[in-house]
Every structure is written in structure tokens, then in C-alpha cells.
Structure 1
Amino acid sequence: MQTAFTPEALRDPETAHTEGIVRKCVHCGFCTATCPTYVTLGNELDSPRGRIYLVKEMLENDRPADERTVTHIDRCLSCLACMTTCPSGVNYMHLVDHARAHIERTYRRPLPDRLIRLALAKILPHPSRFRLALRLARLGRPFAGVLDAVGPLKPLAAMLRLAAAALPPSPAPVPPLATGRRVAILAGCAQRVLDPGINAAAARLLGRLGVEVVRPPGEGCCGALVHHMGREAEALAQARRMVDLWTREIEGRGLEAIVVTASGCGTTIKDYGHMLRLDPAYAEKAARVSALARDVTEYLAGLDLPAPARPVGAVVAYHSACSMQHGQKITGAPKALLARAGFTVRDVPEGHLCCGSAGTYNILQPEISAKLRGRKVAHIESLRPDVIATGNIGCMTQIGSATAIPIVHTVELLDWAHGGERPAALEGLAAPARAG
């Protein structure tokens, strides 16, 4: 795609990077076939190709974002299916990240939108605040229908409906084993509140495999939530904090890997090297952290797992989170691990399409999100599985809100099969289940 950025504009490294991305686009339109919003809405401007034109026009002229551009960029899920499809290697992720930061700097949103986004940015990354907000949301859930009738308040209604009916208790900590292999595990923010059993399962499984799992004190949000909202200063501050924390461990007793059990976080952490490349104090450290980041299934695939202690035989519908398959290009490892553990794994039809969770998207764009969720759940239920497995807490919350089929994290099933606890969501599941 031809561009007309001025030499002055190209002196800005972010703009120069964006210009290089735009130039790679050859207008082929392959991306439209796999873009959830284009498939759902049928509007060219709600496709990656259409959004590239909008972003190019906005940044090329260095003009403030307008309502038209903001509308179509806001509708983007950042699922990155377009990057998997694109034959030209267009890095749409970095392009839309730049666009969102520009929108945040130059566009004044309507007051209700500003307040909801501020609340999300100041609550979700902080576990204690998020826990309190969920308790209050349970009290407000009966009023969701009333809020739905007021257009600007629909995101609040979506927030109330997605709130967990009850918060699970935190499991007992798993004592670390003193061995030669040592990894850090990301405690996270939202997942720590919504399902602390995920990290507990990962720690138990890794511990039995002889891997010492450490949780450095002072961990916080990795920055993914605010990064995808365009709040770049906050995102970079959170990223620097995590880089400092992990660097102390790397330079202390050493780390073989930084294990992540939320694939949305993993995609962002693996991009720290890019996000902080212009900061001379952090560029090298951030690149080192990114190089050590591993999804938990990615790390487990490199270990010699024994035969399962209790082959369950349950039929598992594996939902590949967008941040896993498109963001990190991890597709085979989770399914292979589940199959080796004795589960019957089934692929979900249209598995490349997003479930509509996408971080805070299911709150900020509830109508499109609900359509995508309905489409995804229908495909999953057509498989008649005993359980759904996925690698991202957002997908678990989104899909779990619309189906009676239990949904758990992949590592919870692996821990169970290899001698760990049965996931709480599967208490009623008979084992072994049908395998046909």
C-alpha cells in the first residue's frame, strides 16, 4: 500500500514503524474471510483492510481521531486472526496498538464511555478492587435489564451479567521444590480473582515434574488490559514493573522460563521487547523477559511428562483462544498434551473465530460480543463434549456464561490426569466418559 507520511512525521519511531507495516498490505482481502467483525457485520470498514485505510489516513495526516475512525477501531477485537491469514506478514497488532494510543491522546469520548473505560482501567488490573467490584456487581445484577434499555449504560449491564455468581476460594499454596529447574509463574490480576485454581493446578503439575515454581512478591497486572485500551503510559509503567521484578529473579537464582497461564497476558509479555524497545533503560531487559515467556502448555510440551496417573477418557472440546493461536502461534501443543493425558480431543468448527471475549470487549461492545459468543457456543455444543478446555480466563468467562457444559483451563485437566485434584467445575462429571 502506498503511503504519504511526511519526513517530519517519519522522524517519530512509532510512526515510522507503522508506515512500514502499512506498506506491506497489498489489498488482497484474505483477512476479511477470517475477521470476526467483518463476518458478523459485513462492513468493509470493520475488516482489517478497511481499518488499515482508516489508520493510514489518520496517522498519515497526523490528525486527531474522528468518530468514524474510533467506531471501527473500537469494534476490532484484536483477535489477530488477520495476522494468521495475511500472506504479506502485515503486523496488524502493532498497527492497531498505535492507533488506539493515538485515539486515546486525541479523541474525547462521550462522558459515559470515558467513565466506563476509566473504571475498567482502575479496577480490573487490581485484584482487591476487582474482588470488591464483583461482590457489588452481584447485588446489582437484577437491574441489568433496566440498564440495557439505556444505550450508554449497556456496557454496565454486560458487566453485571458477566460477574461471577460466587468467587472461588484461594487454594492452599504449593510449596516449591528445590530442584535444578526453576520458573516464575505470572500471578496475574483478573484470573487471580476469577479462578485462582488455574495457577494452583499449574504449580502442582510442575512441582510433580520436578520444577520449582516461584511467585515473586509484588506482582501486578502485566499491562495487557490497559494496553488494548490505548492507555499506553499506564501499560508501559506496568510492563516496566514486571520487567524489574523478573529481572531480579533472572539475575538472582535464575529462571528457566516465565510461565503464563493466561494466553492474553502471554501475548503481551512476549511483546515487551517491542513495547519497551525505545527505552534505553529497559530495552535489553524487556527483550530478555520476552524471550523467557512461555505459555504453560508450551513449557509442558518441552518436558517429559509420564503416562497419566488416571486416564479420564472424557471428550474435550478444545477452544483455541485467539491470543494463543493467532497471538502466540501455539496450536498443536495443548491438544497433543490433552490427547497424551487420555482425553478425546475435538476441534471446534470455525475455531479461528473469536468467542467475543477479547479482554474488555465483551463489556465495551456487548452486542457484537454476544453474537460471536452465540456462534461459538453453538459450534461447541454441536460436538456434545463432556467438558470445554481453553487457555485463557477471558474465554472461560465468556463461553461459560452461555452454556451448561463445564469449561476449565487446559492445565487443570492435565493436572487432574497426572494425579492432581479434580477441577471444581467437573465435580459432577463421571469418569471415564464416553470416548466416541
Structure 2
Amino acid sequence: MQTKIHKRWNKIPAVQEAETILRSCVHCGFCTATCPTYQELSDERDGPRGRIYLIKQFLETGTLTERSRRHLDRCLACRSCETTCPSGVRYGRLLDIGRALAEQTLPRGWLARAQRYLLRTIVPKPKRFRTLLRVAHLFKPVLPKSLQKQVPPLVSANTWPAQRHNRVMLVLQGCVQSVSSPQTNEAATRVLDRLGISLVVAPDAGCCGALTHHLSHEQSTLLAIRQNIDAWWPAVEAGAEAIVVTASGCGVTVKEYGKLLAADPQYAEKAACVSAIAKDIAEVIACEDVNSLAVKLPKKTALHCPCSLQHGQKLPDIVEQLALRMGANLAKTQEKHLCCGSAGSYSLLQPELSERLLTRKLAALAADNPEQIVTANIGCQLHLGAHADVPVKHWIEWLDEALS
């Protein structure tokens, strides 16, 4: 796809990168077949190819309309199109660049700015998010039923196994998961303890930066990344084998630290090292002797593989293969490639379309009448769990229960 970038963008390195990505697209349209929003809306502008054209037009003219931004905002950034694309177009990166420039070029209205400000200043901060949840639970009885379902649980943390192994790995506590589902990392700690690995937390580490990154707030994103690297670095230098991430959405971002800080002379090398040792919990367990774990997984279970795991991290079958190795009774599911509609803050910013995608995903997961649903990402877990007819949990909790 030939482009002629507007002169206003000439000195911006990210735009040069965007031009390279645009030129790799042959506008074949294969991506539309696997795009969740195109499947729902049947609008070329709400599919990857159409959005690529909108970004191309934006970069060539230097201007953007509200209508065009609405189509960019509707994108889930699920990257299903990247998995489908025969030309290897880095659509996710192109979208990030386009959205970031859009925020600079076309200011949003005050209500949209306020909404995004609250999201990026409350959700990534566990203490603030916990306070907000407590208030939400206090008023939950008087909220409309539709909102009651969307209030995440507020769970207290329990005690982790003491560090007792020579093999040590760091674990990302994160923000939303650390408040609404601390039992996920606790389960991961117990499972890895059985495998001879101790998980440790760097107290000063926080949000991975994914939420602010998707909201195109670069300053907050890079600050969070640098703080995490500083918090983890002493343990990395001391020989920590990996940085384990149990939320696949966070895992995508941590694995991209090296790219996001590539131009930072102070952090580039450290960021690349952190990305290199970042592992989804499934990657860690898959390399261990799972036969040493005496597990029983008889309950009929539907496995939901988040977009961030299958399209972002390119690990579409890793949890399923692990589950089958351990004798799990997996229910048959449909449309595995389509997003559930959570997508970080998407369910809050695009509630109507998110709800349509959720309904479709739940039907696909319930096709074989499972007794429960397991997933690998906290956003999907909360989103599915708010409306599912069966329990929804992280798959590592499912495995931990089978060891108890």
C-alpha cells in the first residue's frame, strides 16, 4: 500500500514506522473474516482493512474526523487480524500509533476526557481501585441490575507458601487482578511450589502499563514501565529465572517493554532483558514435569483462550495442551478466535458493542454445556463471569483446586 505522509509528521519516528507497516498491507481482506467488530457491524470501516485506510488517510492529510475516530475507537485491539494476515501486517502497532496521534490532533469532549482520566488514574492504582470497589459494593443493592453484574468481587488475599526453593521467579501482581482476584497468583504460587519453584513479589512493582497504553497516554505508560523495571531489576540481577505473568493481557505489554523503551538510552537494555524473561504462567508450567502433579480434573470445563494469549503472545493452544496432558475433560467450544468484548477498558468505553460480543462468546462457550469456564486473563474472567450461567475462574485456580 503506497503512502505519501503529510509534512506535519515528517520528524516523528513512529510515523515512519507506521509508513513501513502500511506498505506491508496488500489490502487482501482476509482480516475481515476474523475481525469481531466487522462480524457484528458489517462495515468495512469497522474492520482492519478499513481502519488501515482511515489511518493512512489521516497520515497523508494530517487531519482526522470524529467519524473516523469512532471507527478506530471501536477496534478491540484483539489482533485476531494479525493471526490471519498472510503479509504479517503489524496492525496492533499501527493502531497504537494512529490512536496516539489522534489524541494529539483531535481533542475529545470534556466528558470523554474525564472518563479516560478517571480510568487511568484509578484502575491502575490498587489502593484507589480497592477504595472504588468498596464504595461500589456499598451501593450495589441500589444499582440497576445491569450495573450490579459489572461490579467485580472484592477478595482478601491469603498467605502464600514460604520461599523455600533455589529456583526463584518474580511474579507480576498487577492492578485489577491484585484487588479483585488475588487468589489467582496465590494459586500460581502453590502450583509452582509443587514444581520446585518459589514465586516472589517485588513490592514496588505495580500496573504493567497496559491500560494507559491502550488509552494512548504515553507518559503514564512509560512511567509505569520504568517503575516496574526498577522494582524487578535487583531480583533479575540476583538470578530470577523469569517474570511470571498470570494475566495474559499484562503479559503482552510486559513482553513489549523492550520495544516501548527501545529509544530510551537509560532503560533500553534493561527493558529488553525484562521482555526476554517475561513468561505467561502456562509457558512456565509447560516446561516442567507436569506428570509429577497428581491432579484430577473430571469437571466438564470450557476453555476460553483470551485474545492476548492467542493473538498477542501467539500461544493459542498452550493451556489446552497442558490441560489435555493432565487428563482434563474439556467441553467443545466454537469461534475460539473471536474476542469476548472485554479488551481492557473497552467494555466501559464501548458498552453496547462489548455486550453484543459477550453474548456471542458466552453462547460459543456454552455450546457443549460445560460445568465451568476457565480463562487466562483477569479482564475476560470478570467480563464473562458477570453474565455466565456457570462459574468462571482462571485456569491456574482450576489446576490448584485439583491439587488440594
TM over 0.5: yes
The yes-or-no answer on 1:276 pairing with 2:261 is yes
Measured after TM superposition, the shift of residue 300 of structure 1 is 0.7
- SS of the residue 2:330 aligns to: strand
Q: Find the partner of 1:309 among 272, 284, 294.
A: 294
Aligned residue runs from structure 1 range 88-107, under 5 A: 88-107=87-106
Shift of 1:141: 4.1
Shift in Å at residue 108 of structure 1? 1.8
Match of 2:158 in 1: 171
Q: Which runs of 5+ in 2 are unaligned?
A: none
After TM superposition, the structure 1 = structure 2 runs for residues 138-217 of structure 1, keeping only pairs within 5 Å, are: 138-141=137-140, 145=144, 161-164=149-152, 166-179=153-166, 181-217=167-203
Aligned letter for 1:354?
C
**Stretch of structure 1 that moved more, 357-366 or 395-404:** 395-404
What SS does structure 2 have at the residue aligned with 1:89? coil
Moved more, 408-417 or 283-292: 408-417
CA distance in 1, matches of 2:175, 2:10: 37
Cα 1:362–1:182 change in 2 (3 A) is: same
Distance 1:140 1:52 in 2: 43
| TM-score, length-scaled by structure 2 | 0.96
Does structure 1 conserve the Cα–Cα contact (< 8 Å) formed by 2:6 and 2:62?
Answer: no
Report the secondary structure of 2:239's partner residue: coil
2:321 aligned residue (336, 345, 348): 336
| Alignment-derived partner of residue 51 in structure 2 | 51
Would you say 1:33 and 2:33 are equivalent positions?
yes
- Offset at 1:310? 3.8
Partner of 1:248: 234
Quote the RMSD (CA, aligned, Å). 1.7
Which one-letter code corresponds to 1:174 in the other structure?
A: P
Say if 1:158 and 1:188 are closer, same or farther in 2 by CA, change over 3 A: farther
Residues 103, 230 of structure 1: 8 Å contact kept: no
TM-score between both structures, scaled by the size of structure 1:
0.89
* Counterpart-to-counterpart distance in 2, 1:13 and 1:380: 43
Matches within 5 A, 1:340-419: 340-417=325-402, 419=403
Assess if the C-alpha contact under 8 Å between 2:290 and 2:326 holds in 1. no
Matched, 1:226 2:212: yes
For residues 361 and 161 of structure 2, the distance between their equivalents in structure 1, rounded to whole angstroms, comes to 35
Q: Mark the runs of 5 or more structure 1 residues left unpaired by the alignment.
A: 146-156, 421-436
CA contact (8 A) 1:318 1:389 kept: yes
Q: How far apart, CA to CA, are the structure 1 residues paired with 2:219 and 2:302?
A: 39
Query: Equivalents in 2 of 1:118, 1:391: separation in Å?
Result: 27
CA drift at 1:187: 0.5
Residue 91 of structure 1 aligns with an amino acid whose one-letter code is: R
Aligned-pair identity in percent equals: 45
State whether residues 141 and 161 of structure 1, in contact with CA within 8 Å, keep that contact through their aligned partners in structure 2. Answer: no
Evaluate the alpha carbon distance shift between residue 67 and residue 174 of structure 1 in structure 2; reply closer, same or farther with a 3 A threshold.
same
State how far apart, in whole Å, the 1-side matches of 2:332 and 2:102 are: 37
Confirm or deny that 1:323 pairs with 2:322.
no
SS at structure 1 position matched to 2:290: coil
AA paired with 1:228?
Answer: H
Report how many residues are paired: 404
Q: Distance in 2 between matches of 1:383 and 1:307?
A: 30
Secondary structure of 2:27's counterpart equals coil
User: What's the offset of the Cα at 1:397?
Assistant: 0.7
